[in-house]
Amino acid sequence: MAWDSLWGASLTDKAETLKRGYLVTTSVKIDTRRARFALNHSAPRFLAYCAAARFVRQHRGLLSQRSFLIVIRVPKTWEPDELVVMAKLVLKLNPEIVISKHPAKTKRGHEFDADDVLRYSRIILFAQDDIELHPDVDVAKTAETPICVNRPNHFRAISQLLGCGLLTDRDVEKLATIPAERFNSVFRIGQNASLALQRIPEPQSEQLKTFDAVIDPEKGFGEASRWARNLREDLADWRAGKIDWSEIDKGILIYGPSGTGKTRFAKALAASLNVNLVATSVTRWQSSKDGHLGDLLKAMYSTFAEATEKAPCLLFLDEFDSIGNRDRFPAQHENYLMQVVNGLLECLDGAGGREGVIVVGACNFPNRVDPALLRSGRLEKHVHFALPDADGRMEIFESYLPHLAGNDRLRKVAERMAGKTGADINQIVRGARRLARKGRRDITVADIEFLMPTVQKMSDEELFRVAVHESGHVLAADILDIGIVHSVEVYDYETLHPTEAQTHGLTIIEHRKRLVTPRATMLADIALLLAGLAAEELLLGDRSNSAGGGASSDLDRATRLTMELVTVYGLGNSLTVSFDAIDRLGTHELWRDQALREDANRVLQSEFRRVKDILNGQKRALLKMAMALKEKKRLSGAELNEFLQAKTAPLPTARSG
C-alpha cells in the first residue's frame, strides 16, 4: 500500500499505528516456530532468518518511519533471495513494507525498473556488495548498511540444534568464506560439521586472485616504463598544484608486435596512477550502430566526453593505426576517412586542452598513422614495444612473483625465454600458480621450471654450421670495415641459451655512425647480411634455412635494405624514387613489379658473390674461427682479435650491379 491512504493523515493513535504496521514499540525476537520452520527447510534459510531478525531488532527506529528506502548490502558468498524470503517472514509479511532484491547491472545497463519499487513508501532492497545501484535508488535511499549473515553465534547455534558438534574459531572463520549454498553439506543432522569443513579446500588467497593487478608499469617495459615513472611524478605535482596541466605529457603512442603487453601496460598504468580508465578501440567506433560517419564520430566524441567527465583519466585507444593516413586514402573513401582523422584531431586538441585526460594509443604499424596525430600536444611520445630482453623478462616475473625477486634460478629461467612475450610469461605463471594451489603451498621456481617448454639440444653438426654462419658475419664485418665486432656466440640449448632474441647465434657489431651514407657503404651492409649464407656454402657446400624464414632475418633485412636502395634512394638502375613506397605498399606488394624485382635481385646476387669471394680468400681463418666458436660457444676481446689480424687476400670491390 502506498501513500494513497496516508496522504495528509496524521497518525497519532497507537492502535492505528500498529494496525498500519509501524514498528515503534514492539520488540522483534526470534520466533521459535518460524525459526524451526526455517531450519527444517535448509541451513542457509535458518541463518538468513537469524540475520534478518537481528537486523530488524537493531533498526526498529528506522523501520518505524513513515517513509524509507533501506539498501542492505549482502556479502558475495550469499545470494540475496534467502534473505528476502526470511525478512518477509520476520516482518510477518507486512503489506506496508516492500522487500525485494536489487539485481546486478548487465552489459545492457540496469534492467531493474526502479519506478515499480519507488512508488511505495517503505522499501527494503537487498543488494550484493559488488553491484552498482540504480541511479534513482542511489538518490532515494534513506540508509545503506551491511547485514551480518555470518555471525559466529548463529553458526554455533545451528551446529548445536542439528547435533553437529562444537565449532572452533577456525571453523567459524572458514564458514564465513564459503558460499552459503554449501552450508547444507556442512550441517547435516548428527554429522560432525568440523570434520566436514576440513574436506573443503582452503579458499584461493587474495594474492592469487589479483596477481594481474600487481604488474608494475615502471618495470619491464623499457622506455615506456621510464615515461610512466616521469608521468607519475608529474601527475603528483599537478595534483599538489605545483605545476600546470600544460607541463604534463598529453599522450603516448605505444607500438610493436602483438603480445608484447601494450594493453596490459595501459591498465597497469591507470591503476598505478590511481586514475580512471576508459578503454576502447577504433574498431568499436566503426561498429557503432550502422557504422555511418555520423555514428562513428558520435561514438568518438562520446568516448572523449566520458574521459573528460572522469578526469583525471587515462584514455586507452587500441588499434590506433586503423585511423590511417590522409596522404594514402583511396579516392573512393577519401571524404569519409578525412573527416574521421579531422574529428580525432579535434578531440585530441580539445577546446579546453582536455585537462586531466592522458591518451594512450596502441598499434602494430605506426607508419600507417597520420603524422598530424603524432605531433606535439597530441600523441607526442612514441615508444616501441619490442619483445622484452632478459632483464625485462625478469622484471615481469618479479612483478607477478614479488616473493621470488632476485632469485638466481628465476633469472636463469628468464634468460632462457628469449623471444617470449609478456603474455607468454603470464601463461607460465598462471600454470605455476595452478600447480601451487593443488599442492596447497606457495609458488616456487621449480613450478616455473617444470612448465618451461622443452628445448631440443643442438647436435654437433648443427652447432658447427651455426658457428660457420656467424664466423662469416664476423670476418665480413671486419674486412668490409662495417664497424667494431664486440662479440660472437652460438647456442647449444644445453649449456648456453639465447637471452636477447630467438636465434641460434648472435654477432654483436657496433656500426660506424654516418651522416651521409655512400652507395658503397649500403652495398657493404647488404653483403654483411649475406655473409652467413656465403660462409655456409663455401665451407659446407650448401646453404641452410638459418638466414630466412621470418621478419628481421638476414635475408629479410637484406631484401628490405636493397628495396630502399633502389626505390627510396635511387641507387639502383634508375634514378626514379618513391620515398614512401615501402611503408605505403610493403615489400611484398612492391615485389610484384617485375622490373623492380629484377633490379633488386641483381643487387642481392652481386653482393652475395662478392662476399663469397671475400670469404674464400679467408677460408683458413673462417674454418679456424668456426671450430673455436663451436668449442667455446663465445668469442670476444683478445680471443676474437686473434682471428681478425691479417687479411690474406685482396678485397674485391663492389660491383656496379
- Which residues are known catalytic residues? 470
Instruction: Specify the DSSP element, H or E, that contains 124.
Output: strand 122-128
The amino acid sitting at 10 is: S
C-alpha to C-alpha distance for 228 and 219, rounded to whole angstroms:
9
Contact 101, 81 (CB under 8 A): yes
Residue 303's contacts (CB-CB under 8 Å, 6 or more residues apart) are 278, 280, 285, 315
Q: Is 165 left (phi over 0), alpha (psi -120 to 50) or beta?
A: left
- Burial pattern 80-105, b for ≥16 Cβ within 10 A else e, equals bebbbbbbbbbbeebebbbbbbbeee
- Burial pattern 195-228, b for ≥16 Cβ within 10 A else e, equals ebbeeeeeeeeeeeeebeeebbbbbbbbebbebb
DSSP string, 269-295: HHHHHT-EEEEEEHHHHHTSTT--HHH
- Burial pattern 438-465, b for ≥16 Cβ within 10 A else e, equals eeeeebbbebbeebeeeeeebeeebbbb
**CA 279, 283, 287, 292 torsion-angle sign:** positive
Integer distance in angstroms from the first to the last C-alpha of the chain?
A: 96
Tell the burial category of 333 from Cβ atoms under 10 Å away from its Cβ (0-12, 13-18, 19+): exposed
The distance of Cα 155 from the centroid of its chain, to the nearest Å, equals: 42
Instruction: Specify the DSSP element, H or E, that contains 563.
Output: helix 554-563
Contact 625, 471 (CB under 8 A): yes
Which triple of cell numbers denotes residue 516? 651521409
